[in-house]
Amino acid sequence: MREFEYVRATEAGQAVATVTQDPRASYLAGGTTQLDLMKDGVLEPELLVDITRLPLRGVSRDGDTLRVGALTTMEELAADPTVAARLPFVREALLLGASVQLRNMATIGGNLLQRARCRYFRDPTVPACNKRRRGTGCAAVTGAARMHAILGADEHCIAVHASDLAVPLVALDASVRVMGADGERSVPLTDFYLIPGDTPDLENVLVHGELIVAVDVPLPRVGTRSAYVKVRDRASYEFALASAAVAMTLDGGVIREARVALGGVGTVPWRAREAEELLRGAPPGPSVFLAAAEATVRSPFTVPGTAFKVELAKRILVRTLSTVAGVTS
Ligand code: FAD
Ligand code: SF4
């Protein structure tokens, strides 16, 4: 690992100013992504600004919005009573991720900003990776690609956005509060992540130096049912091959509102708006669930290693919809 300078920030504005004015500076939160990538030689910051002592930790409620401080850990958020009562699929997504040791270190801000798990991205001896260096090509398109994306992907990059938490948060229309040199702004999570296209190195709309200070999560109406289902190669401590987050309100035998997103198959956490349109006002059942799944996985980009995900994504969505609606598929 290359040598770097380390400072511990005591005030958010000071941290933002320090990173903003130095293009070789990065934030350090729990370190579970950042330090791995530094050890592997993928990231080589010259200055690390440790933000873990900033007062950005904890969960508070403002009416029907839950404000989650960026430094709240995954375990702390999963243990929050409002999350358990009103956002069960957020809790499930958190507890199905990583391991308890990692979740005690990993922060919510860092989770949303975790980097690609693509093996070629994480191996600097592989020259072809447009995400590491724009214009070099994509080794995964012709290589081993089981863990890669089929939605929002093309020949430039097929890396999945690996966060489980981001999947229900995208479905809920959560937004990220960001502090920059010019003050604070709020960005809907659905607009936060960027489809790679020919600039896979740009993963989100943050400007260098901007700090996530909180995530605002709108609480769904009382009585909303939800579930997060994750399929993976082993039963624990593994990223998703495919996952689905569904929140649904049923009224008088029809679906009043459905919020749907997929994980493990998209280059960004994948909001399934066409599925939501089809589901709204329909009686729950296998045929509408299948139609919603078909609409979501329309126009996939596949390579031999990821072709199986087309059927897997549809099946996991049908299964999650059926689970939430309480019908057998
Ligand atoms: P750091 O590593 O400190 O930072 C990550 C990135 O975000 C860095 O670039 C850092 O500069 C930046 N950053 C951090 N906080 C902020 C902020 N507030 N504002 C601006 N920039 C910031 N995740 C899942 O969702 N599901 C899994 O199944 C899963 N399994 C895992 C298994 C392993 C073995 C490991 C190592 C990780 C796994 N993860 C999984 C990822 C894990 O959840 C993330 O590594 C973690 O959430 C990152 O949080 P952190 O606080 O450690 O971030
Ligand atoms: Fe790099 Fe993306 Fe291709 Fe992986 S999928 S090698 S991250 S360009």
Reported as a single tens digit per residue, the pLDDT across 202-217 is 999 999 999 999 999 9
Asked if residue 146 belongs to a domain, the reply is no
The CA distance from 86 to 224, in Å, is 8
Ligand 2, atom 1: nearest CA belongs to which residue? 129
pLDDT of residue 20: 98
pTM: 0.98
Report CA(285)–ligand 1 centroid distance (Å): 37
What is the best residue among 37, 111, 117, 241 to mutate for testing ligand 1's pocket, by most ligand atoms within 8 Å of CB? 111
**Total of domains in the chain:** 2
Whether residue 319 contacts residue 328, with contact meaning beta carbons closer than 8 Å, is answered with no
How is the chain split among helix, strand and coil, in percent rounded to 5? 30, 25, 45
Ligand 2 pocket, CB under 6 A: 116, 118, 120-121, 129-131, 138-140, 157-159, 200
List Cα–Cα distances, 328 to 105, 286, 311, in angstroms: 39, 8, 19
Asked if residue 107 belongs to a domain, the reply is no
Q: Could you count the other beta carbons within 10 Å of the beta carbon of residue 277?
A: 13
Report CA(126)–ligand 1 centroid distance (Å): 23
Minimum-distance ligand 2 atom for the alpha carbon of 128: 6
Report CA(139)–ligand 2 centroid distance (Å): 6
Instruction: Kindly report the CATH number assigned to the domain that includes residue 15.
Output: 3.30.43.10
Asked if residue 89 belongs to a domain, the reply is no
Beta strands in 235-287 (DSSP E): 242-251, 254-263, 270-271
Report CA(156)–ligand 2 centroid distance (Å): 7
pLDDT greater than 70 at residue 183: yes
Mean pLDDT of the chain: 97
Asked if residue 25 belongs to a domain, the reply is yes
Answer whether 76 contacts ligand 1 (Cβ < 6 A): no
Domain limit, last residue, from 50, 66, 91:
50
Minimum-distance ligand 2 atom for the alpha carbon of 148: 5
Report CA(140)–ligand 2 centroid distance (Å): 6
pLDDT digits (tens, 9 = 90+) for 82-130: 999 999 999 999 999 999 999 999 999 999 999 999 999 999 999 999 9
Instruction: Kindly report the CATH number assigned to the domain that includes residue 289.
Output: 3.30.390.50
Q: What residues contact 283, with CB distance under 8 A and at least 6 apart?
A: 253, 254, 255
> What is the domain range of residue 250?
225-325
CA dihedral 56, 70, 39, 265 (to 10 degrees): 180
pLDDT category at 45 given cuts 50, 70, 90 is very high
pLDDT digits (tens, 9 = 90+) for 16-31: 999 999 999 999 999 9
The CA distance from 75 to 188, in Å, is 24
Asked if residue 242 belongs to a domain, the reply is yes
